[in-house]
Structure 1
């Protein structure tokens, strides 16, 4: 009896192992099939080859001689970063401990002025040679924002009963932005910027898919031109990302590739109006049809489009009547769009650290909230990542929007977009070595090289020597300028400097500038990105070197 029982138990155990083996084999086979379908066989093979090459080279770099060489080069690069960011000299005051006695307001102001001037770069952003970064609404706007800050500098919307005016202003900011994007009955919250808005949307769609569709291994599909915040959010939230290529000419995401990548674990698609790298717009209507068909979310990233793209139609700049720069439907009027992010601190001219994440309805927004009813400190509930938040930022944003008004934003859109298109048209007409990426409808213009004798990153470095702070791009190599109010009066200067930079890059290439060195390193080998990653880490470390 015992032997028969033992044999039965053994057979049951073996059967269980067999079933488990085939279950694991089946699930992993399904994952591989979905990955191959999304990436394609050629891309998957290339990714696998790169992975193998990277590991082989990293093993080789562990050799003492190779390690010494890499360490030497990295140390040089780190010193270069420090030289550019950290002031040096015996006369540089370093405040590494609290003063024994508090300083006077006059001393504090004087010390701030001194720090501004230590690197010789105080207020250089005002010369109009900066791509994006500072979205200055004018000196009068600055006074309006500072006054709002002063009035609400200690406020915290975590306590709406204590600061009811701040709560009201935040609700009104969201309401005004929703109306601007044609969804007055929708829902949203404010965040600290575009990255948080995007991460909140990724989190919301993840939790929605888990609750409604029982998806436990979520995936999102993004264009290769999508903002890195989607990758960042997915990394934080343990979500798989499928990055889909864009058309090399139109710079729009490949809809057929998006469709192939959709599977039962897909929770959200992504499109941009406009994207950061080259300022082009994805086919939001096409993405909306896919999102509707497969009953998944669609996030439209309008962080950079901000308060520009909603006004293009009113400004008469959206129809593409000249065969270029057409803006297609992109907001909540497009069926399938479930979320839109908009940075009020860009072309809304609000203070830095303010953005709005919008949803089609309040039911979806609830998946963004964090609620803990069992905390020993009492019931804890917050709408976004932050607990305490600066009410002064909300007040400054509300004040900026009230000060500008719809007419102010319309005129701002018209002047900035006209500036960007003047730059793009002039490059096409009179700088034959360069070409414009796609047909950017808003404020960003990216240019690459179509002359084998001209390295566009070398052009970017030459422009930097002339005081221009532009953005280098990869895939393809290009340089972009995000036009602002400060750029409007600098078009002629930009074109003149660009022509001179192209000429120098063609006749006297140096190959030593920041853009060439950094992005050249990134494309130098399979471990290039890892080396760039080390430099980026060194840069972040330097930010905290006092």
Structure 2
């Protein structure tokens, strides 16, 4: 649609209109955009993004959301339902993460605005709890290279030194010995993924937990992606190692309800082995003229709609519902990975479960991405090495999607061979690819410039006379 989508079809609002439009007119415009945009992911040809893909479920959540959309959950005296809903969301998530295995402390949790929100709050809690021990020294946090960039963001925002451990290129997980070499007296915590976004592989959480106990640091398990599907994969008999509170040394876990928990975007859970760590990141201001102020998290006002929708999704599906969807997803992922493995030129990265990436040692994998895009597929590209990422969600479990993937992949591999033999470069490398030797200052400056240009366009308006 170009830089200014829908400008040729709908009015561009350059100022607040003097007279408002009828509700039916406004809704008709929104419905038209939503219907057209839904048509893309409904094909099942996209990685991740739409985890449920069930319009009946979305309508159910929308009804639950609508009843509480106008509610501010800070005002618990006016809306005590928020206490019930949030408390039960946390209790159900703690149960899923085997909080019952914890005997020596009182477990607790928070509902946050998403995976990044959960990670930010976890890192902040570790920093605040360690402040007295560090006595002014700068804290550091250790993550595997595959750890989500939200940890980098948290360290940047909170003045924490980030130390990055390499991952084994063969199995795509971190070696605890490499993490141990980066831990010192100023380390506040380390982390491992279950699983990491890039490859869907699970770091050795048990070994990292032992390391954390020996060195007296926290261990955060990032289950933002896998937290609401891996437990059910384990129940189904898949090879899912323990990564939750059953593992000694695990002190916090993030698990997104807005991914495989099938709630609306904007909800996640952060779980604590010991509520004292949760309490460490509270903010309070006793002397403000507006009254005594205290906030349990970074956010202030929040809509009760997200709590209602998340609670509704969890109690509607229950363990049996989540397990049934997990079974379909794991089976579909296995089928799609089998299609990849049927081509000797392609290689699966590590040993993934429901989310996987593949590359090629024979040609640039982005040639495959180019041809698959022509067939309507939307993948996430990766670098170091170039790879194609596929997070299997419910839309891929629909009849025929996995078979179509196998057919289109076979044709794309043949195309990639031809392009490689002809010495042609892949188009996708300009979008997804990295640069040899890693990031340089010039490349970082370019990325900032591109992002700025994107925001200026996406938050801007088309030229006057258009729309």
Q: TM-score, normalised by structure 1?
A: 0.79
Q: Answer whether contact 2:382 2:433 (CA < 8 A) is retained.
A: no
Question: 2:298, 2:457 → 1: CA distance?
Answer: 26
Where 1:144 maps in the other structure, the secondary structure is helix
Aligned equivalent of 2:300: 387
1:254-273 paired onto structure 2 within 5 Å:
254-273=175-194
**Counterpart position of 1:71:** none
The partner residue of 1:476 within 385, 400, 406 is: 385
Contact 1:273 1:301 in 2 (8 A): yes
- When residues 115 and 419 of structure 1 are mapped into structure 2, their CA distance, relative to the original with a 3 A threshold, is closer
Rounded Cα–Cα distance in structure 1 between residues aligned with 2:366 and 2:226: 25
* Higher-RCO chain (CA-CA 8 Å, sequence separation at least 6): 2
Q: Distance in 2 between matches of 1:105 and 1:224?
A: 49
TM superposition shift of 1:341: 0.1
- Flag structure 1 segments of 5+ consecutive residues without an equivalent: 1-82, 319-326
Q: Which residue in 2 is equivalent to 1:323? A: none
Query: How do residues 200-215 of structure 1 correspond to structure 2 at under 5 angstroms?
Result: 200-214=121-135
Farther off after superposition, 274-283 or 521-530: 521-530
Q: Deviations over 1:191-246 (max 9, x none)?
A: 00000100100000001111345363010110000000000111100111111110
1:250 aligns with 2:171: yes
Secondary structure in 2 matching 1:127: coil
Determine if the alignment matches structure 1 residue 538 to structure 2 residue 447.
Answer: no
User: CA–CA distance in 2 between the matches of 1:153 and 1:363?
Assistant: 31
Q: Is 2:145 the counterpart of 1:145?
A: no
Counterparts in 2 of 1:521 and 1:291: CA distance versus 1, 3 Å = closer
CA contact under 8 A between 1:523 and 1:529: conserved in structure 2? no
> Residues 330 and 520 from structure 1, CA distance in 2 versus in 1: closer, same or farther, beyond 3 angstroms?
closer
2:465 is matched with none
Q: Secondary structure at the match of 1:209?
A: helix
Partner of residue 432, structure 1: 344
Larger radius of gyration: 1
Contact 2:383/2:434 (CA < 8 Å) preserved in 1? Answer: no
Q: Residue in 1 aligned with 2:24?
A: 106
- Aligned counterpart for 2:274 among listed residues 361, 375, 385: 361
* Conservation of the 8 A alpha-carbon contact between 1:152 and 1:392: yes
Q: Deviations over 1:83-135 (max 9, x none)?
A: 64522665442112222222212101122134447xx6453111111111111
Task: Judge which range, 457-466 or 262-271, deviates more.
Answer: 457-466
1:399 corresponding residue in structure 2 = 312
Q: Which is worse superposed, 83-92 or 105-114?
A: 83-92
Q: Which of these residues, 403, 425, 429, is aligned with residue 492 of structure 1?
A: 403
Aligned match of 1:511: 425
Count residues with an aligned counterpart. 449
Q: Secondary structure at the match of 1:261?
A: coil
Map of 1:328 onto structure 2: 241
Distance verdict in 2 for CA 1:464–1:524, change over 3 Å? farther
What corresponds to 2:229 in structure 1? 308
The secondary structure found in structure 1 opposite 2:241 is coil
* Match status 1:233 vs 2:154: yes
CA distance in 2, matches of 1:84, 1:432: 38
- Between the aligned partners of 1:143 and 1:91, the Cα distance in structure 2 is 27
1:224 aligns with 2:137: no
Structure 1 residues 215 and 269, CA gap change in structure 2 (3 angstroms): farther
Q: 1:89 to 1:210 in 2, by over 3 A?
A: closer
Q: CA distance change for structure 1 residues 520 and 143 in 2, over 3 Å: closer, same or farther?
A: closer
Q: Tell me the CA shift for residue 183 of structure 1.
A: 0.7
Q: Deviations over 1:410-464 (max 9, x none)?
A: 1111110111122112311x111110000013x201001121xx21122122212
Greater alpha carbon shift after TM alignment, 175-184 vs 533-542: 533-542
1:181 aligns with 2:97: yes
In 1, Cα distance between the equivalents of 2:451 and 2:359?
A: 24
Partner of residue 161, structure 1: 77
Shift of 1:160: 0.7
Structure 2, unpaired ranges of 5+:
101-105, 462-467
| 8 Å contact from structure 1 (residues 266, 296) kept in 2 | yes
2: CA distance, partners of 1:384 / 1:458: 45
* Distance in 1 of aligned mates of 2:8 and 2:261: 42
Alignment correspondent of 1:32: none
Is this contact kept in 2: 1:522–1:529, CA < 8 A?
no
Are 2:119 and 2:154, in contact at CA under 8 Å, matched by a contact in 1? yes
How far the C-alpha of 1:317 sits from its partner, in A, is 1.2
